[in-house]
């Protein structure tokens, strides 16, 4: 069996000390030089071990202050389901309420933004075609827990009351309900989740370590005619949130099952 990399061994030692209450939540860890000297490794090894534990929510780094044992945080359950679209409330606020937090969000919309190549491909338009772009920071008790950047084809909503996703009488009601207001029926969404490391900007906005693990979800909504009406990149920190997919079962299928099912 190959020998365990040194940084993983140090991470296990740090985790063990926390589990044995040598260090309590809120305690500041010794310097990297001190830890390295104690275990006979370099500061870079200690840094990698601490970054791993920060990405897992065990430690937290404070700029200009050091590394601390993180306070236990209940992971937020983020439920992804078309059945949760509703006109009278936000699924995100419901998720926050379930863990005793107040859910809210901040947003910024820019109209007539040229579509980059990857977004154009997802929306079925030409590169450079104009879009409405909205960036979101979703908050739990005022702290960012999720990021999203949404793109909608400008020619789809231009001149209508829903051209600004967070403005007008249908502000904040979600893509499905907003599109219904102008006669477009959203039939389904496609989501592609994948794990990756946070960018420096994402880490700063989410209050996590640079390169911490996040789940990046590429989501696209489609009309009943098959046209993409919105696409978004959603970023969720793995240490703070768990993503659950709820799959509605078609009623027709339930009522027409074969006897052997």
- pLDDT(174) > 80: yes
The pLDDT of residue 77 is 67
Query: According to the model, what pLDDT value does residue 38 have?
Result: 94
Instruction: Tell me the whole-structure pTM to 2 decimals.
Output: 0.71
Question: Which tokens in the block code for residue 152?
Answer: 């909608």
Residue range 106-113: mean pLDDT, rounded:
95
What percentage of the chain carries pLDDT values higher than 90?
57
Q: How is the chain split among helix, strand and coil, in percent rounded to 5?
A: 30, 35, 40
Q: What is the mean pLDDT of the chain?
A: 87
Q: Could you read off the pLDDT of 65-89 as tens digits, one per residue? A: 889 998 776 666 666 766 556 555 5
Q: Please give the share of the chain, as a percent, with pLDDT higher than 70.
A: 87
Rounded to the nearest 10 degrees, the angle between the axes of helix 6-19 and helix 43-55 is 60
Query: In terms of DSSP bridges, do strands 76-80 and 241-245 run parallel, antiparallel, or are they unpaired?
Result: parallel
Burial annotation 164-190 (CB, 10 A radius, 16+ → b, else e): bbbeeebeebbbbbbbbeeebebeebe
pLDDT of residue 225 exceeding 70, the answer is: yes
What are 189's two structure tokens?
A: 């969404």
Q: What is the DSSP string of 151-174?
A: EEEHHHHTTSTTSSTTSSTTTTS-
């Amino acid at each position: 069996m190959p020998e365990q990399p040194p940084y993983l061994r140090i991470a296990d030692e740090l985790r063990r000390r926390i589990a044995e209450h040598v260090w309590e939540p809120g305690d500041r860890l010794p310097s990297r030089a001190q830890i390295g000297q104690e275990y006979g490794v370099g500061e870079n090894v200690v840094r990698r071990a601490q970054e791993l534990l920060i990405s897992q929510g065990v430690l937290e780094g404070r700029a200009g202050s050091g590394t601390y044992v993180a306070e236990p945080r209940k992971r937020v359950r983020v439920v992804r389901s078309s059945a949760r679209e509703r006109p009278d409330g936000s699924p995100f606020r419901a998720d926050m309420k379930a863990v005793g937090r107040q859910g809210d969000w901040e947003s910024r919309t820019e109209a007539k933004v040229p579509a980059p190549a990857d977004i154009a491909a997802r929306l079925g338009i030409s590169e450079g075609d104009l879009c409405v772009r909205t960036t979101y920071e979703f908050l739990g008790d005022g702290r960012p827990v999720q990021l999203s950047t949404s793109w909608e084809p400008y020619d789809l909503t231009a001149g209508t009351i829903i051209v600004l996703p967070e403005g007008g009488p249908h502000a904040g009601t979600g893509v499905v309900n907003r599109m219904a207001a102008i006669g477009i029926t959203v039939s389904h969404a496609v989501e592609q989740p994948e794990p990756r490391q946070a960018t420096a900007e994402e880490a700063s906005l989410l209050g996590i370590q640079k390169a911490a693990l996040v789940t990046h979800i590429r989501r696209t909504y489609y009309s009943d005619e098959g046209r993409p009406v919105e696409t978004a990149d959603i970023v969720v920190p793995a240490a703070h949130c768990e993503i659950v997919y709820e799959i509605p079962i078609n009623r027709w299928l339930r009522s027409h099952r074969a006897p052997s099912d």
